[in-house]
Structure 1
Amino acid sequence: MYREWAPDPAIAGRVTCLWTSTADSATTSLVVPDGCVDLIWGPDGPQVAGPDTGPKPVRMSPGDRYVGIRFRPGAVGEVFGVPVEALRDLRVPLAELGVLPELTVETMQEALTVQLRTAPGPDPAAPAIAAALRTGRSVAEVARDLGLGERQLHRRSLRAFGYGPKTLQRIVRFQRALRLARRGTALAEVAVASGYADQAHLANEVRRLAGVPLGRLLNRQ
């Protein structure tokens, strides 16, 4: 069972939600790219889940419980003491990063509130970068619209999100497609509205980013 709830208002500007997932039976949960960074408590202790570029299957035994705090895309900054690109596609034990005390689920929001005040913050342009790329315009067009050179956009995207603008664009487009498909939108319409060339392009991208067909991915949600 999975559920989400809103974070404390003190961290809501940087954190999109808190969540918990509990396995009633042996199962494999599929984590797909969403541009986010999570701090997670699970059977192996607290760890940081960096921004993913591909699917991450998580095997869960009956009774396993995970609790997490999810940062908004581009909002993590250096709260964990390292650039976000250093966490890309990784799961790093919190103790190895050495920037936060041995947190518990009960104390995590209070401790993060303090850390967020002192750690280097996110790029204030990150939301605008993600929003512009979500429209489907080319990286060159987005850079021009934001008043940036393409190399500068690449550096800022890498620093804020953990990957360059082309990868970020694929991920935000993929997430938009998932949201529309979950609402019951016809897949041909999903493809057009999300900026794909056609439904086949959508299907291929979903397989690359999620590792499974869209129908199977939707059934997992």
Structure 2
Amino acid sequence: MYRERASMLPHVVAWRSEVEPGDAPKRVLPDGCLDIIWQSGRVFVAGPDTVAQSPGRAPVGTRFFALRFGSGTGPGVLGLPASELTDRQVPLDALWPAPDVRRLAEAAEPLAALEAVAAARWRSPDRAMVALAEAARAGEAVGAFADRAGLSARHLQRRSIATFGYPPKTLHRIFRLQRAVALARDGESFGRVAADAGYADQAHLSREVRALTGVPLSSLVIPPV
């Protein structure tokens, strides 16, 4: 069982999940976000992924409550650059005072507790980086965005790595992958997916999907439960 909703915080999604009998392990695709996750009383941060992750199957009944921080909002809450968490899972008490994390771990309503703590630590995100995320989702070329935003390539690269955990071209690739998977799950032919998502051709689509997820697009068409 998986459910999500918009958080009270901008650019943040609140989600919850419980492992049920018969659930198969899910491939977690990179999405340009980082998450703070409560898992059966343990709290950790899942940093921004550059490739898909295949976590092992948790025991039946395992519960997850989490906040997913999009558009570069996570670093302000956590108090460190996203680049320090790229492709990593880190216990939250390695980043925050242990007593604060213990209160989260013991909360009767973990999702409400996570939102309250995140709200208390909230810092307004870098508006240029929010715009970069929007541009990447829309498929705007990185160079075109840099010109429009008045940022040098080097400056844009540095701020993107600190905000998202990777350079703007990687962010662009990840959001293009997200568009492709969504279109394929909506029933579009793979040739049409390639054109609509912004790939040069279907072969380019195939190479990129395998590079970022380790499997062909056909394996990703069935949406996660």
Residue pair 2:18, 2:61 contacting (<8 A) in 1 also: no
Q: Which among 64, 68, 84 is matched to residue 86 of structure 1?
A: 84
Q: Which residue of structure 1 aligns with residue 35 of structure 2? A: 38
Gaps of at least 5 residues in structure 2 are none
Q: How is 1:3-42 mapped onto 2 (pairs within 5 angstroms)?
A: 3-7=3-7, 9=8, 11=9, 13-25=10-22, 27-42=24-39
Structure 1 residue 192, shift from structure 2 partner = 0.8
Gaps of at least 5 residues in structure 1 are none
Q: Which residue of structure 2 aligns with residue 144 of structure 1? A: 147
Q: Which residue of structure 1 aligns with residue 118 of structure 2? A: 112
Give secondary structure in 2 for the equivalent of 1:31: coil
Structure 1 residue 16, shift from structure 2 partner = 2.5
Residue pair 2:35, 2:47 contacting (<8 A) in 1 also: yes
Structure 1 residue 84, shift from structure 2 partner = 1.0
CA RMSD after TM alignment: 1.9
Q: Which has the higher strand share?
A: 1
Q: Distance in 1 between matches of 2:13 and 2:129?
A: 15
Q: Which residue of structure 2 aligns with residue 174 of structure 1? A: 177
Task: Tell me which amino acid in the other structure corresponds to 2:92.
Answer: L
Task: Tell me which amino acid in the other structure corresponds to 1:109.
Answer: E
Structure 1 residue 131, shift from structure 2 partner = 2.5
Structure 1 residue 137, shift from structure 2 partner = 4.4
Give secondary structure in 2 for the equivalent of 1:30: coil
Q: Distance in 1 between matches of 2:47 and 2:73?
A: 12
Q: Distance in 2 between matches of 1:14 and 1:199?
A: 32
Structure 1 residues 182 and 17, CA, compared in 2 at 3 Å: closer, same or farther?
farther
Q: Which residue of structure 2 aligns with residue 186 of structure 1? A: 189
Residue pair 2:37, 2:44 contacting (<8 A) in 1 also: yes
Report the number of matched residues.
215
Give identity over the alignment, percent.
41
Structure 1 residues 133 and 110, CA, compared in 2 at 3 Å: closer, same or farther?
closer
Give secondary structure in 1 for the equivalent of 2:37: strand
- 1:179-205 per-residue CA deviation (whole Å, 9 max, x = no partner) reads 211211221111111110111111111
Structure 1 residue 32, shift from structure 2 partner = 1.0
